[in-house]
């Protein structure tokens, strides 16, 4: 058994010079540009709500997030968000749109199993942990803030 593990190690050492080097700088640049464009789109949507519907900066936030979620869900449904993710990598995982993509893709994947057992039960498998830890973290931060406010 140790011989096969040794052979695998030698194989990896032998093929290393022939493997292409990952383009780290180019990948980071693509992620930065695409993530920035998504954020710029969000800012444009927020400005639209503020100028057209006369929302304040605070009240324009919720419809902006809802619009970004809708756009990401539609792009996922048409299969375009996956192509964007393959191109941009982490740049397409900007929190709101990446979260919407993960939920929508899981729902689409399990739609053949029905609404309750397929879509509803599988839709939050990936995103459920994000929601739970987000709520728990918000609770802890709120409690710490309340304690500090009461003490100081």
Does residue 19 sit in helix, strand or coil? coil
Considering just the CA atoms, what is the radius of gyration of the chain in Å? 22
Which pTM was predicted? 0.72
Q: Do residues 110 and 118 touch, judged by C-beta distance below 8 A? A: yes
Question: pLDDT averaged over consecutive 10-residue blocks of the chain (152 residues)?
Answer: 64 86 93 95 97 96 96 95 92 87 85 80 76 90 95 88
Q: Other CB atoms closer than 10 Å to residue 85's CB: what's the count?
A: 20
Tell me how far apart the alpha carbons of residues 84 and 80 are, in angstroms, rounded to a whole number.
6
């Amino acid at each position: 058994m140790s011989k096969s593990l040794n052979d695998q190690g030698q194989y990896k050492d032998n093929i290393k010079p022939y493997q292409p080097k990952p383009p780290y700088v180019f990948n980071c640049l693509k992620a930065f540009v695409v993530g920035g464009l998504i954020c710029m789109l969000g800012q444009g949507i927020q400005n639209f709500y503020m100028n057209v519907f006369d929302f304040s900066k605070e009240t324009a936030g919720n419809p902006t997030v809802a619009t970004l979620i809708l756009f990401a869900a539609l792009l996922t449904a048409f299969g375009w968000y996956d192509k964007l993710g393959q191109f941009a990598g982490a740049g397409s995982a900007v929190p709101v749109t990446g979260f919407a993509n993960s939920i929508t893709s899981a729902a689409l994947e399990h739609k053949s199993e029905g609404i309750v057992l397929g879509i509803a039960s599988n839709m939050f498998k990936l995103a459920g942990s994000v929601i739970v830890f987000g709520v728990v973290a918000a609770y802890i931060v709120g409690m710490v803030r309340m304690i500090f406010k009461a003490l100081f």
